[in-house]
A and B are shown apart, each in its own frame.
Chain A
Amino acid sequence: MALLRLENITKRFGGLVAVDDVSLEIQEGELIAIVGPNGAGKTTLFNVISGVFLPEEGKVFFEDKDITRLPAYKRAPLGLGRTFQIPRPFSSASVRENVAIGAMFGTLADKVSVDESLEIADHYIDLVGLQDHRNKAAGPLTPVEKKLMEIARALAMKPKLLLMDEAMAGMNPKDIDEMVQFLLRLKEEEKMSIIAMVEHIMRAVVGLAERVMVMHQGAKLVDASTTEALTDPKVIEVYLGHSEGD
């Protein structure tokens, strides 16, 4: 049984086809990267998976349950956690409260008290290295700190599948390497499946994922092992075309 299965997902905004007939399967414990230039439709695909947008066509299955039309708030308790490309902290709340909210309403929703959630929050805050910011408001954090805070918040949800939207954007190479190691450890220790989405940090993709899906103009271009995907002529063309346009 696939953990997540997308069947022919199409999402349009007016005349624009943001996601074009994309199918994808993620197995339990798998870590895959979705890459593609800016505007390829990666974030939109995440929004369809997490229930922010409903697709015009296609179906979303989570553990074989059809969740295509399920409201977003009912997906988190099933085991879907995510971070946002542009971080969305609950600004006035402290880092600790932000992360605790993840624990309170994620897969543990019915099982943990507020105090237990705060303890879980402390654990993940330490794990991402934000202990010095624990009691600070999340609003004024730096963009990288906000990303880490969101990762901690998503992890506190104890998801089965973690969706990370550009988790490494804005990081320097050393931080990227650390993040890659961190994600690999997570996958092992927490038995979590991860979809990491990156625009063009190939350094991250190579170290991180065994499997890569490349998107271009809303459509799936390639879905293959990392080495295969990154040497595929179609992919090279997309990226060369992209860097010329930069």
Chain B
Amino acid sequence: MKVNPAKYYPLIPVYAIYLIMFLIGKNMTGMWELMAMLAFYCALGQAFNIFLGMTGYVDFGYVAFMGVGTYGMALAITRLVHFKGLGIGLLIIGLCLAMVMSTLLALAVGAVALRLRGAYFAIATIGVNEGFRYLIEGAKIWNGSEGIIFFAQMNEAFGREMASALSTFWADVLVLIIAALAAFVTLHYMRSKIGYALTALREDEDAAKVMGINVTKFKIIAFITSAIFAGLLGAAAWAIKTPYVFPPEVFEIHYTIEAIIIVLLGGAGTLLGPVVGGLIYGLSKYYLAIILPGFQLLIFAPIIIIIIVLFPEGTVGMLKNRVRGTTLERYIV
């Protein structure tokens, strides 16, 4: 199969921004934490966009995939720490487990909820996150409400120094890599039949069916893909970075809300949108907290509403319309 490199040009601005973020964080003192936070929001947007942006379906239970991903990593480390010699392989097992667990949850939720349309789907998913949390707490699964604390196991598996480097540096690098991978998969989907099918079903599900598109199948593909990246993100940004997991913290709906805001700010269904949305969101949140501590939400909410009202297609959506017909068109997707 021949591959046309021009198809992948739109990754250039995305990866350039991620590289600049990395370089700023690495070389400017005091900037790493901020860059790590921005990387997290970009990755969150990029991952959620594959479902929310490409299908137009809102999943209010999205954070549950990050939650089970966090558990996946925590379980791998706590259960396998005694097998010496796994080394970094332990993290790989953890990431794989995170992917498997988020896939299984996505299959279970998707098989039922994705048969529902639009608003009904959204309502059904609200319960998923809370339900899953109470299941874990009530049935005392994975240590129930006490959660899993695994600082000691991290130290035992990787040594004190490496464990510290993992949590303060490598976890964030991994988040950037996850964002980059999610961007690649997004563009790959856009350029394949999957992307065309998703566009069709997002715009008009009944017409899409009549055109021969198995809408349920393509929704499930987008749902699982998006869930896998959420699982990876939970494993990296929550488990490796802060080696503990408590149900109320990882099944916290406000991350889902943040993900929705980022996708809408940037431009749902665009490739560059989650990056721009993640940066706008992360930077405003960070600086508002410094300038107006305590009042950031009061300022923040209207700003978000204004942007979304002014640019219903998101900032990148608007930009895309501006550059239509120019050479920039090939890079901004």
Tell yes or no: A42 within 8 A of B by CB: no
Partner of B211, one of A91, A105, A135: A105
Chain B contacts with A in 161-214, Cβ cutoff 8 A: 191-193, 196-197, 199-200, 202-204, 206-214
- Let me know if B215 is at the binding interface, CB within 8 A: yes
B204 engages A90 (CB within 8 Å):
yes
With contacts A73-B214, A114-B196 known, is A92 near B209, CB below 8 A?
no
**C-alpha gap A76/B215 in the complex (Å):** 13
Question: Which stretch (A15-23, A96-104, A178-186, A187-195) binds chain B?
Answer: A96-104
Expressed in whole angstroms, the Cα–Cα distance for A74 and B208 within the complex equals: 12
**Shortest Cβ distance from residue B199 to the other chain A in the assembled complex, whole angstroms:** 5
Per-residue contact bits, chain A 60-96, to B (CB 8 Å; 1 contact, 0 not): 0000000000011111110000101000111111000
Q: Is A155 an interface residue (CB 8 A)?
A: no
Contact residues in A for B210 (Cβ distance below 8 Å): 50-52, 72-73, 75-76, 82
Q: Which of B192, B215, B269, B325 contacts A73 (CB 8 A)?
A: B215
Cα A102 to Cα B207 in complex, Å, equals 11
Report yes or no: A97 in contact with B211, Cβ–Cβ below 8 A.
Answer: no
Q: Total number of A-B contacts with CB less than 8 angstroms? A: 79
Query: A25-59 interface mask toward B, CB cutoff 8 Å, 1 = contact, 0 = none?
Result: 00000000000000000000000001110000000
Per a CB cutoff under 8 Å, which of B203, B207, B211, B324 touches A106? B211
- Measured in the bound complex, the distance between the Cα atoms of B209 and A105 in whole Å is 10
How far is B199's CA from A92's CA once the two chains are assembled, in angstroms? 8
A104 vs chain B, min Cβ distance (A)? 5
| Pick from B207, B209, B325: contact of A71, CB under 8 Å | B209
A109 at the interface (CB under 8 A from B): yes
The contact size tier of chain B is 20 to 34
Complex: A102 Cα to B269 Cα, angstroms: 21
Q: Are B203 and A105 within 8 A (Cβ)?
A: no
Tell me the bound Cα distance from A75 to B214 in angstroms.
11
Q: Give the one of A84, A89, A101 with max B CB within 10 A.
A: A101
Q: For the complex, is A153 an interface residue (Cβ under 8 Å from B)?
A: yes
Q: CB distance B191 to A153 under 8 Å?
A: no
B196 x A52 contact (CB < 8 A): no
Knowing A97-B196, A97-B199, A105-B197, the reply to whether A90 touches B212 (Cβ < 8 A) is no
- A101–B200 CB distance below 8 A: yes
* Given A100-B196, A114-B192, A114-B196, A157:B212 Cβ within 8 A: yes
Residues of chain B contacted by A135 (CB below 8 angstroms): 324-325
Task: Decide if A90 touches B199 in the complex (CB within 8 Å).
Answer: yes
Check A104–B196 contact: CB distance below 8 A.
yes
State whether A51 and B211 are in contact (beta carbons under 8 Å apart), knowing that A92-B203, A100-B196, A114-B196 are contacts in the complex.
no
Tell me, in angstroms, the Cα distance from A191 to B203 when the chains sit together. Answer: 31
Query: What separation, in Å, do the CA atoms of A93 and B213 have in the docked complex?
Result: 16
- Residue of B196, B200, B211 with highest tally of chain A CB at under 10 A: B211
Whether A105 lies near B212 (C-beta < 8 A) is: yes
Chain A residues near B192: list those with CB within 8 A.
114
Q: A88-B204, A93-B203, A114-B191 are in contact. Are A101 and B196 (CB under 8 A)?
A: yes
Contacts of B191 in A (CB 8 A): 114
Contacts of A52 in B (CB 8 A): 206, 209-210
Least CB distance from B126 to A in Å reads 27
Question: A105, A106, A109, A153: which has the most chain B beta carbons within 10 Å?
Answer: A105
Q: Can you list 21 A-B pairs with a CB-CB distance of less than 8 A? A: A51-B210, A71-B209, A72-B206, A72-B209, A73-B209, A73-B214, A76-B212, A84-B207, A89-B204, A90-B200, A91-B203, A93-B196, A97-B196, A97-B199, A101-B211, A104-B196, A105-B197, A106-B212, A114-B191, A114-B193, A157-B212
Chain B residues in the interface with A (C-beta under 8 A): 191-193, 196-197, 199-200, 202-204, 206-215, 269, 324-325
Closest 8 CB pairs of A and B: A76-B212, A105-B212, A90-B203, A88-B207, A72-B209, A73-B209, A73-B214, A88-B204
